[in-house]
């Protein structure tokens, strides 16, 4: 018997076999959940379709989260195929490359709007469509992915830090709104990982080195660390947890000034 037998899970943001969204899909499926996957656009289709076969996912759809029509199409398909939804994983973020190279004060209006829309507002838009499918299911859950740059300055993270701060605030407000319907909303603040998105941040390898040196566990995390915590937040094991940001970063977030 799996922890999630009979449950339905929708995962937004699968990019390739290294993405947090994919590793989370694997672990949810291994625990008995039936999974559905979305990806950002045609460029990712050839990468995601073979992965979907590994989990037996029958629902595999493109979704540009800046387009309400595409979000609605995903949930219409889920309703037609499943009739309801128990778990939703939101692993979606984007900022223009140039916004991560210059000083934060140079952030353009367009770059700011794009980062906030894709990385933060998309959670609200998706949660709104998920509500009628999750209401009355018992212990339904929504989990999003964030990063320490929402709370502290991380070099070159820039507008993404502001977007993640908005995302974390959105988690709290959504948890309040959706709690009355039996839906929990939480965030996972994952440490740096060698994902496709992270490698676009200038100086990313330096960030990995600092975390490995300073974190209490003296190591960087891996995607499995994050996926196992996502399983916890999605499952009945966290039935009393909502509005929370759970750090999965080898304890790095807890460190201030320390002596050797």
Does a structural domain hold residue 2?
Answer: no
Q: Active-site residue among 157, 176, 181, 232? A: 157
Does a structural domain hold residue 95?
Answer: yes
Does a structural domain hold residue 260?
Answer: no
Per the structure, how many domains does the chain have?
Answer: 1
Does a structural domain hold residue 158?
Answer: yes
The pLDDT, as a whole number, for residue 179 is 98
Q: Active-site residue among 147, 173, 176, 181? A: 147
Beta-bridge partner residues of 4: none
CATH number at residue 27: 3.40.50.720
Q: Can you tell me the distance from the alpha carbon of 76 to that of 158, in angstroms, rounded to the nearest whole number?
A: 36
Confidence of residue 105 (pLDDT cuts 50, 70, 90): very high
Rounded to an integer, the average pLDDT of 190-219 is 83
Rounded to an integer, the average pLDDT of 137-143 is 95
Rounded to an integer, the average pLDDT of 10-17 is 94
176 catalytic residue (yes or no)? no
pLDDT digits (tens, 9 = 90+) for 25-44: 999 999 999 999 999 988 89
Measured CA distances, 67 to 44, 49, 138, 161 (Å): 17, 22, 30, 23
What pTM was computed for the model? Answer: 0.94
Does a structural domain hold residue 113?
Answer: yes
Strand, helix or coil at 142?
A: strand
Rounded to an integer, the average pLDDT of 120-135 is 98
Exposed, middle or buried by CB within 10 Å (0-12, 13-18, 19+), for 167? buried
Does a structural domain hold residue 145?
Answer: yes
Structure tokens at 51: 């992965």
Does a structural domain hold residue 259?
Answer: no
The pLDDT, as a whole number, for residue 199 is 63
Query: Which of 31-45, 98-112, 147-161, 199-213 shows the lowest per-residue confidence on average (mean pLDDT)?
Result: 199-213
55 lies in which domain range?
8-254
Q: Can you tell me the distance from the alpha carbon of 126 to that of 65, in angstroms, rounded to the nearest whole number?
A: 8
* Backbone torsions φ then ψ of 39, nearest 5 degrees: -135, 165
Measured CA distances, 132 to 45, 78, 139, 189 (Å): 28, 12, 14, 27
232 catalytic residue (yes or no)? no
């Amino acid at each position: 018997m799996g922890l999630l037998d009979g449950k339905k899970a929708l995962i937004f943001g699968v990019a390739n076999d290294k993405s947090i969204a994919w590793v989370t899909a694997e672990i949810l499926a291994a625990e008995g959940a039936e999974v559905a996957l979305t990806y950002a656009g045609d460029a990712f289709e050839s990468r995601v379709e073979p992965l979907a076969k590994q989990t037996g996912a029958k629902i595999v759809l493109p979704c540009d989260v800046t387009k309400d029509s595409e979000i609605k199409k995903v949930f219409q398909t889920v309703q037609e195929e499943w009739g309801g939804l128990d778990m939703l994983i939101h692993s979606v973020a984007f900022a223009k490359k140039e916004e991560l190279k210059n000083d934060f004060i140079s952030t353009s209006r367009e770059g700011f709007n794009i980062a906030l829309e894709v990385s933060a507002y998309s959670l609200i838009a998706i949660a709104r469509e998920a509500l009628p499918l999750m209401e009355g299911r018992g212990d339904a859950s929504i989990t999003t992915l964030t990063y320490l740059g929402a709370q502290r300055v991380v070099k070159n993270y820039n507008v993404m830090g502001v977007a993640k701060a908005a995302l974390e605030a959105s988690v709290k407000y959504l948890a309040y709104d959706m709690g009355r319907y039996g839906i929990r909303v939480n965030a996972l603040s994952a440490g740096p990982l060698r994902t496709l998105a992270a490698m676009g941040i200038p100086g990313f390898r330096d960030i990995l080195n600092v975390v490995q040196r300073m974190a209490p566990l003296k190591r960087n995390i891996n995607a499995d660390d994050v996926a196992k915590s996502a399983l916890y937040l999605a499952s009945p094991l966290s039935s009393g947890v909502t509005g929370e940001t759970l750090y999965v970063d080898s304890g790095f977030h807890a460190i201030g000034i320390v002596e050797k």
